Amino acid sequence: MPGPRTVEISRTECLRLLRYESFVGRVAFAVEGAVHLRPVNYVADERSLVFCTTRGSVFAAVSSGTPLVFEVDASQPLDHSGWSVIVRGKAAEITDPVELTLLRRGPLKSWAVSASEQWIRLDIEEISGVRIPAH
């Protein structure tokens, strides 16, 4: 029996899945030679995704221009199907007071920290995805 086959997902479908099908993903980045992977809840649009974190956490090492990789996925174990979307881009701390006010009033409510903490934007420079269809 052949193994599962993966199907590439279009950019449009990757963006749809990122924006509407999941709200928790994982951010990976390197600091001083060590790779870190952290779960975050997020909000996304066509150009970027935003998440909130605690000042002084490992994310404090993430400054403007730091390369990040973000991954979000979903699976259906009973029918052995699922999908994964990966975003690559550079981080930027959001410091504009007007934008911060809008973000704090918006739909993203961090599960781990108060909304007054550090807000980070990941610009979507590359996005790709794969799907394992049900079989």
Domain boundaries, the chain: 7-117
Q: List, for residues 1-20, the tens digit of each pLDDT value.
A: 455 588 999 999 999 999 99
Question: What percent of the chain is modeled with pLDDT above 90?
Answer: 44
What is the Cα–Cα distance from 79 to 67, expressed in whole angstroms?
A: 35
Q: Which class is 7-117 in CATH?
A: mainly beta
Q: Which helix (H) or strand (E) holds 105?
A: helix 97-105
**CB 89 within 8 Å of CB 27:** no
